[in-house]
Structure 1
Amino acid sequence: MKTSKQVLVIEGSPRKHGNTGLLSDEFIKGAEEAGHATEKIYLSEKNIGYCVDCEVCQTEGGGCAKKDDFQEIKDKIAACDVLVLVSPVYYYSVTAQLKTLIDRTYSALTEISGKECYLIIAGAGDQEKYFQTIIDTYHGFIGCFSDMKDKVIILGLGAQAKGA
């Protein structure tokens, strides 16, 4: 019997129904058709402050000192089986919203582990080389945690216009 997984999709685009949204919606559709539970978080709707390198999380063992929507998202990341990061390409990188979340997970290095990880990115570039910085960021991010499994990277090449 196949076990259902909890799939958490974190949408980094500030535009809710853009190209990355279309791609992540299709990913969710496939996951649900396979019997998995899904949740999508739109970072543009969340209040997540920047990491200020106060080191409270590392020296006092109490997690991040900032109290904002990050705590809720961190708990969902820790609880999920599958983590999907989604972002359009913004000057060869992820959006500020997604980068802020990635930076804040520094406070949760021991709380997040054992996830199947996917990356979905879309951008106007028509070659993979234009996406490499994001791919490197993703690999660096999941490499900071224990037992994270890089499953698939989905590239939306040449996606300048919506629906391209």
Structure 2
Amino acid sequence: MKLLVLVGSPRRAGNSAVLAESVRRGAESAGTDVTLRFLDDHIGSFLRDCRTCRLPNGECSIADGFRDLFDDFLACDGVVFCSPIYWYGLSAQTKAFFDRTFCYYAASHPRSAEALAKMARKRIGLVLASEETYPGAELGIVHQIQEFSRYTRSDFVGVVRGSGNRRGEVVHDPSGPTLAAERLGREIFIRKYSDYYLETPRSPTVWSLEK
């Protein structure tokens, strides 16, 4: 299985990066093929008006590394988004990742059907870093990733949040977010996921009672 870890912070030694490395460590311990990318190495521009800036062959004309990053995304079986919380939302780099995908799944792209098919049915994880511990600070982001996951028929399997201000300070968070991030990476493809609808057939138990 292939896991893509996307870091939405420009700080290579920041708290988001520390948590992302924990995800990678956990995934590799489970034998997962892991790719970790810092988004600002690949995204140099926000989404433009595709009707005016596409190349004659339908490809995106923005000359940065997003196409390669998007190919990594299409090829993976799961992705963990690691972002700092800025103004109670995702970082601009992380939001730009979602926005830029539009160019490739829009009907005006020559291979949009392929992109749509490969964007779907992934395992999704979310890792957040914030200065404050206020629980509500993450709610808007969790909702956005939840809706992205449901829109793409993906499984949103876990959220980890750590607190810290100085770079790397998250390792001192007594709630243990680095261990939780490592566990998320290790379990991303095996963690139980259920999201019931009214008519969903289901067992009367959630967890097996067998020892």
Q: TM-score, normalised by structure 2?
A: 0.67
Shift in alpha-carbon separation, 1:113–1:64, aligned structure 2, 3 A: farther
- Which residue of the other structure, out of 118, 142, 153, is the alignment partner of 2:149? 142
Q: 3-state DSSP class of the match of 2:103? A: helix
Query: Which structure 2 residues correspond to residues 26-45 of structure 1 after superposition, within 5 A?
Result: 26-45=22-41
Q: Quick one: structure 1 residues 148 and 63, their matched pair in 2 at CA, closer, same or farther if it must change by over 3 Å?
A: farther
Amino acid at match of 1:128: P
Report deviation, 1:132.
1.2
TM value normalised by structure 1: 0.85
- Is 1:75 paired with 2:81? no
How far, CA to CA, are the matches of 1:139 and 1:61 in structure 2? 34
5+ residue gaps in structure 1?
A: none
Distance, in Å, in 2 between the alignment partners of 1:52 and 1:71 is 15
> Contact 1:102/1:141 (CA < 8 Å) preserved in 2?
no
Rounded Cα–Cα distance in structure 2 between residues aligned with 1:65 and 1:136: 32
Q: 1:131 is paired with a residue of what secondary structure? A: helix
Say what the alpha-carbon RMSD is for the aligned residues.
2.3
C-alpha distance in 2 between matches for 1:160 and 1:32: 28
Q: State the AA in 2 paired with 1:88.
A: P
Aligned residue pairs, count = 157
1:8 partner SS? strand
Separation of aligned partners in 2, 1:63 and 1:99: 21
**Unmatched runs of 5 consecutive residues or more in structure 2:** 106-112, 171-211
- Identity over the aligned pairs, expressed in percent? 28
Q: Which stretch of structure 1 is more off in the superposition, 126-135 or 28-37?
A: 126-135
Q: Which has the larger radius of gyration?
A: 2
Secondary structure, in 3 states, of the residue corresponding to 1:85? strand
Partner of 2:159: 153
